[in-house]
Chain A
């Protein structure tokens, strides 16, 4: 099956710094990728849809200036958490659909655990 990787798998940063998380589709091209946030023992919350070559689409309530998304190639999307604060600590997961229809099967990355101290 299709493989999606994320880097880093975990990161600890100090409050006020920025952190970049990479999401790569390893064996397929993804014009669209999704970024989710998950709190412990809770569901996934869609943050934004990353579109190759164009601006990301953010869900209501998600600050686009705080969570910068760049989808510069067909295999790479990055999420940068700017001026991170402890409340940004969470598990961030990306996914990509392998088909043209975004509503079908998605392949998920292994996630990135962010801890802001």
Chain B
């Protein structure tokens, strides 16, 4: 069953602008991850944030996690045309060896 719900479903921005994507979930989690998928390809892991973390950075990516609101955001700064892709959040429930549950995804288009 799906857990993460991203919004917006689609986002179109100009190159150089920042892109913010949000994810909400329903249960208690061990960690939350963001993945990118280029059209017709597999997923690429971007960043993982643990339930006891509030913010994490990786290059142009910034992820926040608010466990009280059961939500996360992914910020891509200074976007590039190459960032055009679908972005998925995935949650791992608490408990050992929990499997990932993916949201529906956000389609990001960055116009050159």
Contacting residues, chain B, for A93 (C-beta < 8 A):
42-43
Q: Which of B31, B35, B104, B105 contacts A104 (CB 8 A)?
A: B31
Total interface residues on B, using CB and 8 Å?
Answer: 26
B2 contacts A by Cβ under 8 Å: yes
Contact A111 B40 (CB under 8 A): yes
Contact B103 A43 (CB under 8 A): yes
Contacting residues, chain B, for A43 (C-beta < 8 A):
2, 88, 102-105
B6 closest partner in A (C-beta):
A43
A82 contacts B by Cβ under 8 Å: no
- Give Cα A113 to B40, complex, Å: 8
Contact A95 B99 (CB under 8 A): no
> Residue among B40, B42, B88 with the most chain A CB within 10 A?
B42
B45 contacts A by Cβ under 8 Å: yes
Task: Annotate A101-117 by CB proximity to B: 1 below 8 A, 0 otherwise.
Answer: 11111111111010000
- Give Cα A91 to B42, complex, Å: 10
Q: List residues of A whose CB falls within 8 A of some B CB.
A: 4, 6, 34, 41-44, 46, 49, 91, 93, 95, 101-111, 113
